[in-house]
A and B are shown apart, each in its own frame.
Chain A
Amino acid sequence: MWRSRRKLMVLPLALAAFFMAACGGGGGEGGGSGDGGEVVNIGYSGPLSGGASLYGENVLSGIEMAVEDLNEEGVEIDGQPVTFEIASLDDRYLPNEAATNAQRLVQQDDAPVVFIPHSGGIFAAQSINTDRNEFLLGAYSSDPAILEQENPLTMMIPPRFDNYMEPFVGTTMDEFGDSLGLIPTESEYGQEWTDQVTEEWEAQGGEVLSNNGVDYTTTTDYAGPVTQALSEDPDVLFIGGPSQPTALVIEAARNQGFEGGFIVMDQAKVEEMEEFTSEENINGSVGVMPLIESDEAGTEDFVTRYEEEISEDRLPVSEVGYNYQAMHVVAKAMELAGSTDDPQAIRENIEPALAEVEDEYKVINFPEGFTEEGHLAGPVVATFVEDGEYTELEVPQEQ
């Protein structure tokens, strides 16, 4: 009896060990076979488990693809051949974990650059990246508040979301009418978007109805909040959270007879939503331009490569592309600075590095300049979906 019980106990242990090994193995990939030369670790802390892990993996795969290019092409910094490797840690979307991870990546792996893809983690890292352990912070969040910290070692990667307000509101109000219903996700980020959309909608003379936001990660059925928002008869709905639940909100609204337009928060990607609801339902939405529709020089090859190397069933969304470009910019800045371990010098060379990045690595809204506050800025094109077509929508950039 005792014997058989012991045997039974071994099985789950073995399985657990297998899974732990499988989880742990995800971290250190991406490095090529550096024949000698210096190895530079690029740090990454983002959600790699839990509800936001797909987002975290998307960001990471962008950086990985760039590192692969760089190692293949062979980078020389200060006369030395350099091989890049990625050191990644899971922060489960938690700000304090992100800061701890960043510190670890800098101390243990000597990472001169750490990428963090969420505003909470970015704020936390901004409080430590200019201390003893200096590092350049690759900040992937469209929240303009990260620029207000005036952190000298931050590089904000995506377009600022506040610039989307005016064209998004203007387009949908002209097209559908002037009352706006709200069903955004209830995250901190969703709240900030809601405030800004509300302000802009009212500034352009429209009426904002009650807020029926729900947490997109825990809601079981969207029919309830949708029914409620539609009971006030809105012309346009402001929605958005992760793409897939956002698609369900659209589906629920159309099923209940809503014929107006949607303002889609930049977290949700129209091209991902298309897989979860019919194309017809998405007509009348404004949102960020899908990477696959972008006309930068490198987009087509990038999409093909993503399909071959990362995933056949998923499309490369904009966060993959933006982080891919950012990694190329960082590598060029290191070359120009002639240093792989001086974050200050790397930061100073970001602006000149932009002109040096080859066209084949430009995949989406490639930045034209690097502002004093630390933003990779440039012209941005968003989209208005009309009769199944992604029509371009210029997003004026005001800082």
Chain B
Amino acid sequence: MAAALAVSMAACSSGNNGGNASPAASGGSSSAPASASASSSAAPSEKPLDKITVTFFNGVAGEKDLNTNETTIGKMLEDQTGVNFKIEHLVGDLNTKIGTMIASDQYPDVMIPDAAIEEVLKAGAFIPLDDLIEQYGPNIKRVYGPYFERMRADYGGKIYFLPFGPQVGEYAADPNINQGAFWVQRRVLKEAGYPKIKTLDEYVKLVEDFVAKHKDENLTGMLTLTHDWRFFATSNPPMHLAGFPNDGNVMVDIATNEAKTYAGSENEKRWLKTLNDLNGKNLFDKASFVDNYDQYIAKLTSHKVVGFFDYGWQIGNAMNVLKDAARKDQTQDDFVYFPLPVTFDGTHDQYLDPPGWTSNRGAGITKSAKDPARIIQYWDALLTDENQVLKSWGVKGETYEIDDKGRFYRTAEQIAKLDDAFNEKFGFKTYDWDWPQYGTSSTLADGNALAPGFQPEVFQMSLTEGDKTILGKYGVQTYAQMFDKPEDRPWFPAWSIPKEQGSPQQIWETKKDDLLKKYYAKLVLAKPADFDGVWADYMKEFGKLDTAGYEKWYTEQIKKVVEVAK
């Protein structure tokens, strides 16, 4: 089945036709090699392969350095392919590390240069993968085929690296809210009788009323997170409130594909004015602008904060603490936060990520690699349905079960077993990202979700009584159902459209961030009467930035992407 798919995909992918991005022009050159490689993909388990170790530098700090064959999954993949990866994660500054690699022209075999990818490409460190994929990558073609044109268009006509997360099969929504939302304590909704909260005004009123009713509790109405690079948690809401998903610094009109910044816009003014009003009423935590991330998280667990905006992935630790407490003691459920789809006008929200394609991140093979073919073969092997199940669900009977309808699920014991240490040993952690793989929201051919967390059966098991109650009150099964369905945006996320380091676009962003950091505090903490005056100062300084140029550049890029995606 996989091979058949690969052949059909090959028709619209292509060989080496340079920078020409038109699918029509590229169609003719390639159909024979596809079938040849499709047959070779079945081979690996038959002929014994000599074992090799490939060095792999991951520019994203985080997990443990290891050899993949020390993990259960990695060992099984080594048995199939004979390849072991020795992974090193970044520890210090990315640009420093990449800079020294480029200057000395010595690279690990495989690299994820993360934010420094433009520099790595400019240095010619990645080898083009087109021919290798043609020869050894039937599964790569099947999975990445729909994106090949885009990948080539982005980087001068060749494929130099494989981004993560191509969508495969039906779109499976994340039932939890890992992305942005306006959060509020559950007790607030309970006390108000579970009202539908759609607009910012409704949300603010809800918070205000609650604090007013609980004067003696010394509550904070709202706070925001501003620490260091996490400042976007305070500056992004205008975009979401206007009904757009997180495209970074721009809101992209879905009809005209025009990109507009929201910094310096009326939307931003409205958001800041709202915070300013809250502050005027003593409902906003002034320390928001000086607190560090740890202090912020501590406040979220203190039961004293009624509401805030943030991205789910950024508040995981605080949420876990609150949920743990609620699991042990029902009454603590009041303090767990609930996500709400708040917008300015209450009509249409786009908080949930549409299927995305982060085009400027990925793994590539460097010119230092001794055996690129083996690496491609490994990646290709990883992209079979079977191995995708292995890397995300694990081994049947051990880390998941299949019911008589063919649905994957996990038993309570299995769930309990999957702690950090186990995930590390088994390889779930190593393989959860950073490899060519199906996108998180992919669905397998048999209808099961690729990500266990996205499988309704698994999600339902994780719910407490309190969770079920509140979801029931709103007539939904998952948190995601509180939100509107994401619309299709081929460029999403726009922030991943490649920008050179030190380019005018990047400088604009750095300067804009500095300006926002300087003025947001002034605007929010100003006396309500002074707000307009401070806003005028802000606009004056903002006017010095070449925002029109930035928007123009972005619009052009987005149009290009849309063109390629057609």
* A and B co-occur in one complex: no
